[in-house]
Every structure is written in structure tokens, then in C-alpha cells.
Amino acid sequence: EDQVTQSPEALRLQEGESSSLNCSYTVSGLRGLFWYRQDPGKGPEFLFTLYSAGEEKEKERLKATLTKKESFLHITAPKPEDSATYLCAVPRGTNDYKLSFGAGTTVTVRA
Amino acid sequence: GAGVSQSPRYKVAKRGQDVALRCDPISGHVSLFWYQQALGQGPEFLTYFQNEAQLDKSGLPSDRFFAERPEGSVSTLKIQRTQQEDSAVYLCASRGDSYEQYFGPGTRLTVT
């Protein structure tokens, strides 16, 4: 069965303290891996799509990387405004639309 | 351009009541999705439309859940005879030519 597991569940960082979030997946024939950011009371906001092992994408202080079994979201020198829950998702089964989400990593950045 | 909008943002229903949740996708987006998100969890897929056709409803939890998109734009998720376990955030997403799904703010449903 396709599964997406994120770790850690929660991450508390000091402003400027870089760290990484992990998303491991078990799915046959990966058709892309998505990262989203979700703020309390809001819907997920799209960040990145990764398609193949070795691919990297960056946006401001965030960089996402992909291997054959997992993806990492690196947060470099985070600021308090980076505090959010970060979700990863992969398409489930043989289709490209039914996303399976992990439970997310809640990041809190203290000033 | 405008993103995905949903209404109402909050809904409180007494157990047994019917509710209707609305989604306005991004203009021109052919694909529309509904997800259910429990507290502390990631969204769970409910159903998928391509234009007005409901191509996948495998995630709907019971026959009390019904979704429609009659003109291929606005969609409504209806829940009949609500139960406490239906309390959750209901998210709508739409997708255009690219692969990514763009989400609305969600409707928080509380069944008392």
C-alpha cells in the first residue's frame, strides 16, 4: 500500500538555525512528489514539485531534494515567518491526481 | 488571479442536519478535487471531477456524502444526516494544465 511518512512530527528552531524535514514514501512508479505549506486555519499552499531522483528546487530559504525513497525539505536560516506545517504528498496508485499526504511536520521558529 | 474560494468558512450543524459546502475553483481549471482533513492529519482524498464528470468518488466515506459540479465550474459537497465523525476541515483544490493542485482555505465543519 502506498504510504507517506513525515518526520519529525514537530520541530522547534531558533531563528537562523538551519534544519531538514524528511518525507519517506513507498509508492511504485513515482509520478511526482509535492511539498505544501499550511498555516493554521488555511488551506495548503503549493511550494514544489519534484519528479526524479537527484532533482532539487529552491524558493527563498527552502530547498527540496528527492531520492528514490525520500525527500528532504531544507530550511536555511529560518525566520519566524517560516513557522507552519509542511506537508508532502505523492499521487497514489496508477493515477496522477489522488494525492496521499503525510501527516506533516509542524515547524516553529523562535525569534 | 483569484485563487480557489470556499464557503462558508465555518459551519456548525446539529447531528442529523444536512449541509452543503461550496467551492469556486480557479477560473479555467478543468480538474477539481475535494479532500477531508482531520485535526493533526494530512488531507484525505474524497472525490475528483474533470469538468462536470465525477471520475472518482472512491474516497467518499459513506453514501451520505454527495458531490456535484453540474456546469463544470462551481462544485458543491453535500453531507446528509451529519454525524459527529463528519467534523473536519473540507478542502477543495483545482488543477489546470500543470500538475499541481491549488487548495482553497477550507470549510471547518463542526457537528454537535
Do A34 and B100 lie within an 8 Å CB cutoff? yes
The answer, for B51 touching chain A at a CB cutoff of 8 Å, is: no
Chain A interface, Cβ < 8 Å to B: 4, 32, 34, 36, 41-46, 49, 87, 89, 92, 95-104
pLDDT-derived band at B1 (thresholds 50, 70, 90) equals low
B69-75, long-range: CB < 8 A, 24+ apart: B69/B32, B72/B30, B73/B24, B73/B25, B74/B22, B74/B23, B74/B24, B74/B25, B75/B22, B75/B23, B75/B25, B75/B32, B75/B34, B75/B49
Residue B82 forms contact with A (CB below 8 Å): no
Best A99, A100, A105, A106 residue to mutate vs chain B (most B CBs within 10 Å): A99
Give the pLDDT score at A1. 63
Say what the pLDDT of residue A2 is.
66
Is the pLDDT at B89 greater than 70? The verdict is: yes
Residue-level pLDDT at B112: 97
| Of residues A42 and B98, more confidently modeled | A42
The pLDDT tens digits for A19-65 are 999 999 988 778 899 999 999 999 999 999 999 999 999 999 999 99
